Amino acid sequence: MSNSLPPDLAASVARALAEDVGSGDLTAALVPAEVRGHGRVISREAAVICGTAWVDSVFAQLDPAVRVTWHVADGNAVVPNALLFEVQGPARALLTGERTALNFLQSLSATATAARRYVEAIAGTGCRILDTRKTIPGLRLAQKYAVRCGGGRNHRLGLYDGILIKENHIVAAGSIAAAVAAARRLAPGVPVEVEVETLAELEQAFAADADLALLDEFTLAELATAVARNRERARPLGLEASGGIDFDTIRAVAATGVDFISVGAITKHLRAIDLSMRLSFSG
């Protein structure tokens, strides 16, 4: 998947400004219209930056006269006190946009930073980190972009571009074989992944000729066995490990030989990066 910006970026920014500004910024209106400002934004901690285009869009939508000058790019790793960007223009627009711009930048940088941390934890194993659909409502595409900036990969964007047959789908369809057959019939050409909870269910996924298998809550020994059995097949499945995996155990999971590890915490357990904006005014 390319690292292109999400198509809903401008609309997402417009919604964020609407919920914050509403009918108008009453406090910024206290500042005379002719006053101009200059701001510098720094990171107070080490981070992987993501969200530059969202910041640009915030100020562009508020006032095209605002100029943003970046000293970093999405995907760059920064150290504490690094200068991220400078902004100058009408003071009212700077004051109104400050919070929304920083909300986007610190939240998306948090996702990119978490993704990079997990990617580095399994470096050299050949395994790849995947995200999940456990994203902030309304920010799905933005967070998926941030995962890519951090070096991770997107599992699927939503329910429309990939099939993951889970336990309840299997029960409703009657069996793994029936569920996979229905998927092939209804969505030809779309990759089909089956969640399995035991090695016996993995054998059923093999028999059904799925494309991928999600190994849910498997022990390290079970993962190693699953990898060994899969390698014996003429057409091996892609194997994804998920469930009960944290930062302390993820490298051992990767070392079993699975192809992917999905980590919901990257987008779900968000701790915003600590940023600071300092403004000065003239005129």
Beta-bridge partner residues of 158: none
DSSP for residue 28:
G
Burial 155-180, CB ≥16 within 10 A → b, else e: bbbeeeebbbbeeebbeebeebbebb
d(CA 20, CA 22): 6
Beta-bridge partner residues of 78: 47
Active site residues: 99, 134, 166, 195, 216
d(CA 43, CA 113): 13
Residues 6 or more apart from 179 whose CB is under 8 A from it?
165, 169, 170, 173, 194, 208
CA atoms within 13 A on the CB side of 136: 17
Place of tokens 């939503």: 158
Cβ-count burial of 277 within 10 angstroms (0-12 exposed, 13-18 middle, 19+ buried)?
Answer: middle
